[in-house]
Amino acid sequence: MFHSFTQALSRRWHALHRRDLFRGAGLLSLSGLLPSSESRAAAPSGIDLGPDIYKSIGVRPLINCRGTLTIIGGSIELPEVRRAKDLANQQHVQIDELMDKVGERLAQLTGAEWGMVSSGCAAAISHATAACVAGGNPDLHVRIPNLAGFAKDEVIIPGHSRNVYDAAIRAVGVKIIEVNTAAELESAIGPRTAMIYIFATERSESGPPSFDDVVRIAKARHVPVMVDAAAETLTIPCVYLQRGATLVGYSGGKVIRGPQSAGVLLGRKDLVKAAWVHSAPHHGYSRAMKVGREEMVGMLMAIEMWTKRDHAAEWKQYLDQLDLISQRVTKVAGVTTSVREPSGRSNHSPSLGIRWDSTRLGITGPEVAEILDKSDPRILLNAMGGGFGRRRQESNEAGDTGVSVTAYMMMSGDEKIVADRLYAVLSAKHQLKPRETPKPPSGNLSGRWEVEIQYAAAKSTHTLHINQTEGRLEGSHHGDFIERDLIGTISGDTVRFASTQTERHGDALSYRFSGTLSGDTMAGTLDMGEYLKAAWTARRRAYGRQG
């Protein structure tokens, strides 16, 4: 009955940008969460507490065909989760008592010894690390991240598991020891080893060292193993705990469809309870990672619903959505599609690959993705071959190109909107834009340049060493700490160059400079990817100058 009602409501709102109903707060009305007309009238000027809540403050909502990425909001919470959060917010409770009962219930639902809700999976990893370092001892807790005098202050990470999220471990102040073989792992474990961390991927399964090697060696030395399974489907009982891991963390705002600002830590009871001691609302380093009663109850409800959801029926719905899109876009001559059904647990969703010859349709995959992103309704999908957001001058290659659609976060009815928009764009007449003809360089950039970068609230000086051959640039970019290779071009007085360096801990820092040359100075905009943009000015270092 509820399903029929939501379908009818979806059809009714289709002509009125029905996606906003689901993308914004529309479904809240189904669970009694939309404010009354009186409270709407009292709302602050400028924000509309209704389906257009984002538009009312100048933000464009979107149809998500990319998956549960945090940068676009993760997943859509289940209606039951939203209802549970709303009810939990209407009463006060003692937070320690609440978490104790939530932990007990999570254990019953998942088969783990105990559970804990955190403010995301990264927070769960931090609290787990603190538990292995301090064990719930407040005399130690209040000194984190200064681990001077601690008996245990080292965490071992296999090289295949180094990634951007191990920042959550380093935040506790531990020393990271990287190993790349089972033998290195055996040698690295010592009295100061607090924990071993594994990022759950296919690579960590095969190693070296393999998942089973890590668990075997750790168990023999009584060292806890923490598994980061943030983007994975929840198996009950947990496959990692069954295979010998001590702790495992999941994201709430991905496939489980709980609160985006929540995660769950499962595993050995004493360590999970200690992790809670090292979590907010308790003071110390963890206070910044506060989790509210609403998130606790909402996360618990999401796990409850995970045990009740018909996952096979959901998978069939995803395939049906992709099939509808496929049938529509393949009516365009030259367009082919293929469905990918991943077998792994991470980011487990089918996707549709849509391919064509750009010389035939006159448009590339990145250009299609850009059109759908900038038009209304706004649709975000992946450009195949080069990635979403690829620069236009790099995307005009003739030949095979395409886009891909991930099904998991499309709401009911989104597939028709996506199919119609893709068909409209692909069937329209386009002319492949010719590659820009380089102009003779207006100057020679060879030499050393001092670059002043103006960040949001700070300045830094970097150094460029550039060698120019006609319009091609090569060299090095010395940043605040490390040196990166630099490549780029100069066409007329327009300069573009980039440097990328993957830090050992997994962070990839990408710098894309674009600007204009004027004599011995250059200036323009610096694109730093997820770290947004900055302004830069460069001055040539005069030959023979000291320093």
**Does the structure show a pLDDT above 90 at 399?**
no
The Cβ of residue 465 has, within 10 Å, a number of other Cβ atoms equal to: 16
Residue 120, pLDDT above cutoff 90? yes
Residues of the chain above pLDDT 90, percent? 82
Contact call for residues 53 and 28 (beta carbons, < 8 A): no
Query: pLDDT tens, 92-116?
Result: 999 999 999 999 999 999 999 999 9
pLDDT of residue 385: 55
**Is residue 395 very low, low, confident or very high in pLDDT (cuts 50, 70, 90)?**
very low
Mean pLDDT across the stretch 70-74? 94
Kind and range of the H or E run holding 296: helix 293-308
Phi and psi at residue 422, to the nearest 5°: -65, -40
Q: How far apart are CA 177 and CA 153, in angstroms?
A: 11
- Residue 39 above 70 pLDDT? no
pLDDT of residue 345: 86
Q: How large is the average pLDDT for residues 490-503?
A: 90
At 198 the three-state DSSP class reads strand
Residue 391 has a pLDDT of 37
pLDDT at 397 over 70: no
Q: Tell me how far the alpha carbon of residue 49 is from its chain's centroid.
A: 28
Residue 288 has pLDDT above 80, yes or no: yes
Number of H helices, E strands in the chain: 18, 21
Please report the pLDDT score of residue 454 as a whole number.
Answer: 98
Strand 114-118 and strand 175-179: the pairing is unpaired
**Per-residue pLDDT averaged across 304-327, rounded?**
97
Q: What is the largest CA-CA distance in the chain?
A: 82
- For residues 513 and 534, what is the distance between their CA atoms, to the nearest angstrom? 10
Full set of structural domains in the chain with CATH: 2-61 (no CATH), 87-308 (3.40.640.10), 318-427 (3.90.1150.10), 447-540 (2.40.128.120)
pLDDT in tens, 241-265: 999 999 999 999 999 999 999 999 9
The mean-pLDDT minimum among 2-11, 78-87, 201-210, 216-225 falls in 2-11
Q: How confident is the model at residue 21 (pLDDT cuts 50, 70, 90)?
A: very low
pLDDT at 48 over 70: yes
User: How confident is the model over 460-487, as a mean pLDDT?
Assistant: 96
Nearest partner of 252 among 146, 380, 124, judged by Cα = 124
pTM: 0.86
Give me the helix-helix angle, 95-110 and 293-308, nearest 10°.
10
- The span from the CA of 436 to the CA of 458, in Å, is 36
First to last CA, the chain: 77
Task: State the average pLDDT over residues 27-42.
Answer: 38
Tens digits of per-residue pLDDT, 354-390? Answer: 999 999 999 999 999 999 999 999 999 999 754 333 3
Nearest-angstrom CA–CA distance, 405 and 426: 15
d(CA 302, CA 258): 5
Task: pLDDT band for 342, please (50, 70, 90 cuts).
Answer: confident
CA distance 475 to 479: 13
What are the tens digits of pLDDT across the range 420-462? Answer: 999 999 999 999 888 889 999 999 999 999 999 999 999 999 9
pLDDT band at 544 (very low <50, low <70, confident <90, very high): low
In whole numbers, what is the pLDDT of the chain averaged over residues?
89
pLDDT tens digits, one per residue of 163-203: 999 999 999 999 999 999 999 999 999 999 999 999 999 88
pLDDT, tens digit (0-9, with 9 covering 90-100), for 135-150? 999 999 999 999 999 9
